[in-house]
Structure 1
Amino acid sequence: MTSKKQPPFRAGFVAIVGRPNVGKSTLLNRVLGEHVAIVTPRPQTTRTRILGIWNAKGAQIAFFDTPGLHRAKGPLNRRMVEVALTTLDEVDAVLMLVEAGTGPDGRVEVGESTRWAIEEVARRRKPAILGISKMDRAPRATLLPVIDAYKGLHAWTDIVPFSGLTGENVDTLLEVLGKHLPESEAPLFPPDQLTDQAERALAAEYVREQVMLQTRQEIPYSVAVDVEEFDEAERRDDGGLVRISGVILVERESQKAIVIGKGGAMLKKIGTRARENLERLLGCKVFLGLTVKVEERWSERATALKRLGL
């Protein structure tokens, strides 16, 4: 009796791309089961590419969460789009995300920026899967019009509706993506590695996430966080303490006043929420000290962008 031949192990890189705020980071966090990429309702939350590694019995997928593809204006925006486009050149397959749902008249309008993003994906001539994101927010009847609107814009290898928020159909999406990766004798990364993001960088992102969430529309996306100290001297395998000091950078005095809040209330709230998330991530107690500094037009200066890793 012959044994059934096992399918080959597959491993490779997949870029998650799409317009800003389409659900890229929510999907990555769902796949990894960890809060690796920060998520806010604001567009352009993701500024750099973030590696997240998913392991299964027959596959390892190294995802790159990327900044949203859009017609960029200003040095920071151009840098973000450049990161996303460069990533397209370095992966084995592309997952292009669009949102589920139709307009009030039942039609699907594919905007000029989305068409441009699809053209950039097509230009790379790589396996491209269309992921229809946020299916939990749209009636099932609206999925077919979305599929019809996009299927003629590129020769997609597969089209998969899913919800990164609820996890619906994410398993199917992962199975489809795995089929388009190269055969590999071994995983590309150790099975216990989750991301390439240093804990210091994640700490800065967790603080920035809370600034954006707590201040809502009052503070523009051009806020940054510079972690000046990440002291693990008191950290132990069973817990201990990490001391973190960070500076929240804004571009105007009026923004500084909003981030600090009356009597320091807003800054305390930002720090408390960020600290709670960091303690879950690091598995220990965290002392988080935050200050706010005005650095005018930092988002327009190459030296500032380089210093902040952007």
Structure 2
Amino acid sequence: MAEQDETFRSGFACFVGRPNAGKSTLTNALVGSKVVITSSKPQTTRTVVRGIVHRPDAQLVLVDTPGLHKPRTLLGERLNDLVKTTWAEVDVVAVCFPADEKPGPGDRFIVNELGKVRRTVKIAVATKTDKVSPDQLAEHLLAIAELGRETGTDWAEIVPVSAQSGDQVDLLADLLVARLPEGPALYPDGELSDAPEEAIVAELIREAALEGVRDELPHSIAVVVEEMGLKEDRPADKPLLYIHANLYVERDSQKGIIIGHKGSRLKEVGMAARKQIEAILGTPAYLDLRVKIAKDWQRDPRQLRKLGF
């Protein structure tokens, strides 16, 4: 047994990239379970959620950061600071470049910022390869290599993957593990995320609320779980988890969008979120959702603190 211990590796890797570059989907594919919310809307990830990959030879802890962007609000600035702090603390950073989009100014901005973090190993990942032809992919890989040269970034690897089809996901895991230091496991076996359950529940409710709403809402929804616990008057073999959560938006008009005609939209949000929560926590849940207005919360330091940023 001692021999295996000597070669066990453990450490942290983080995916970065423009909003919607496929970072969260890739985290979920590697962990093999849904731990990070994914949405077709950019800007869905706000907290640094770690997905944990358990292997016989290693434990790889994935840190999923918000997409780096040019900030327009105080919230935006805080998110960017969070990203840069994370980069300096992990063992390897994987930059995601979606294969169906040419690397652009946003990618250059990120790679330049990443260049300021000297010691961290950098890997380039071409994501969403299932969406392009082999020729387009070859062109994309050359463009990534070129961007590395122009910015003075030394890519340790350039890997094409598809989280959707699972293509090369295992190879990416091997390459990330190879860059980790030797050492014991950092988390108990079987744990998939170190986010507290309330944080996971809040994110799942937020994901459900984002689905199908118009583009002006993604930044403007925050969810706070006010109360969560098993109902006491239930028999032991029929537990029910009671969750009371507030969805905060910035304006009256947004409140109307979330609630929908006669509350129909909010009901859909509750049903979709409940399904996901029950699947992850393994307990039937009752969701009590309220929509509240926190005026211009993204620009107000006091409200940002209250909402957990």
- Take 1:292 and 1:146, find their aligned partners in 2: how far apart are those partners? 44
Q: How does 1:95-114 map to 2 (within 5 A)?
A: 95-101=94-100, 108=102, 110-114=103-107
Whether the 8 Å CA contact 2:44–2:218 is kept in 1: the answer is no
- Take 1:220 and 1:202, find their aligned partners in 2: how far apart are those partners? 18
- Take 2:228 and 2:140, find their aligned partners in 1: how far apart are those partners? 46
> Of residues 104, 111, 136 in structure 2, which corresponds to 1:118?
111
The amino acid of 2:44's aligned partner reads: T
- Take 1:233 and 1:260, find their aligned partners in 2: how far apart are those partners? 26
Q: How does 1:199-278 map to 2 (within 5 A)?
A: 199-217=197-215, 219-234=217-232, 240-278=239-277
Whether the 8 Å CA contact 1:32–1:54 is kept in 2: the answer is yes
Q: Cα offset for 1:278?
A: 0.7
Q: Which residue of 2 aligns with 1:138?
A: 132
Q: Which residue of 1 aligns with 2:305?
A: 306
The amino acid of 1:208's aligned partner reads: R
Whether the 8 Å CA contact 1:214–1:270 is kept in 2: the answer is no
Q: Which sections of structure 1, spanning at least 5 residues, go unmatched?
A: 103-107
- Take 1:237 and 1:101, find their aligned partners in 2: how far apart are those partners? 51
Change in CA separation of 1:171 and 1:238 when aligned onto 2, cut-off 3 Å:
farther
Q: Cα offset for 1:238?
A: 5.9
- Take 2:100 and 2:222, find their aligned partners in 1: how far apart are those partners? 33
Change in CA separation of 1:236 and 1:298 when aligned onto 2, cut-off 3 Å:
farther
- Take 2:100 and 2:106, find their aligned partners in 1: how far apart are those partners? 18
- Take 1:288 and 1:220, find their aligned partners in 2: how far apart are those partners? 21
Q: Secondary structure at 2:240's aligned position in 1? A: strand
Q: Cα offset for 1:40?
A: 0.8
Task: Deviation per CA, 1:257-296: give whole Å up to 9, x if none.
Answer: 1111111100101111101111111111100011111111
How does the TM-score come out when normalised to structure 2? 0.92
- Take 1:236 and 1:120, find their aligned partners in 2: how far apart are those partners? 55
The amino acid of 1:202's aligned partner reads: I
Q: Secondary structure at 2:111's aligned position in 1? A: helix
Q: Cα offset for 1:164?
A: 1.4
Whether the 8 Å CA contact 2:43–2:218 is kept in 1: the answer is no
Q: Secondary structure at 1:95's aligned position in 2? A: strand
- Take 2:15 and 2:141, find their aligned partners in 1: how far apart are those partners? 18
How does the TM-score come out when normalised to structure 1? 0.92
Identity of aligned residues (%): 39
Q: Cα offset for 1:143?
A: 1.4
Whether the 8 Å CA contact 2:294–2:303 is kept in 1: the answer is no
Q: How does 1:36-47 map to 2 (within 5 A)?
A: 36-47=35-46
Change in CA separation of 1:291 and 1:10 when aligned onto 2, cut-off 3 Å:
same
Whether the 8 Å CA contact 2:229–2:242 is kept in 1: the answer is yes
Whether the 8 Å CA contact 1:16–1:65 is kept in 2: the answer is yes
- Take 1:9 and 1:268, find their aligned partners in 2: how far apart are those partners? 48
- Take 1:51 and 1:83, find their aligned partners in 2: how far apart are those partners? 14
Task: Deviation per CA, 1:106-130: give whole Å up to 9, x if none.
Answer: xx4x322211211222222221110
Q: Cα offset for 1:214?
A: 3.1
Q: Cα offset for 1:97?
A: 0.6
- Take 2:266 and 2:130, find their aligned partners in 1: how far apart are those partners? 34
- Take 2:138 and 2:205, find their aligned partners in 1: how far apart are those partners? 40
- Take 1:84 and 1:163, find their aligned partners in 2: how far apart are those partners? 24
Task: Deviation per CA, 1:208-255: give whole Å up to 9, x if none.
Answer: 101110324353421111111102244898661110011111111111
Aligned length: 299
Q: Which residue of 1 aligns with 2:185?
A: 187
Whether the 8 Å CA contact 2:20–2:67 is kept in 1: the answer is yes
Q: Which residue of 2 aligns with 1:150?
A: 144
Q: Secondary structure at 1:296's aligned position in 2? A: coil
The amino acid of 1:164's aligned partner reads: A
Whether the 8 Å CA contact 2:42–2:218 is kept in 1: the answer is no
Whether the 8 Å CA contact 2:48–2:64 is kept in 1: the answer is yes
Task: Deviation per CA, 1:172-197: give whole Å up to 9, x if none.
Answer: 0000111111111x112112221111
Whether the 8 Å CA contact 1:227–1:247 is kept in 2: the answer is yes
Q: Which residue of 2 aligns with 1:105?
A: none
- Take 1:218 and 1:61, find their aligned partners in 2: how far apart are those partners? 36
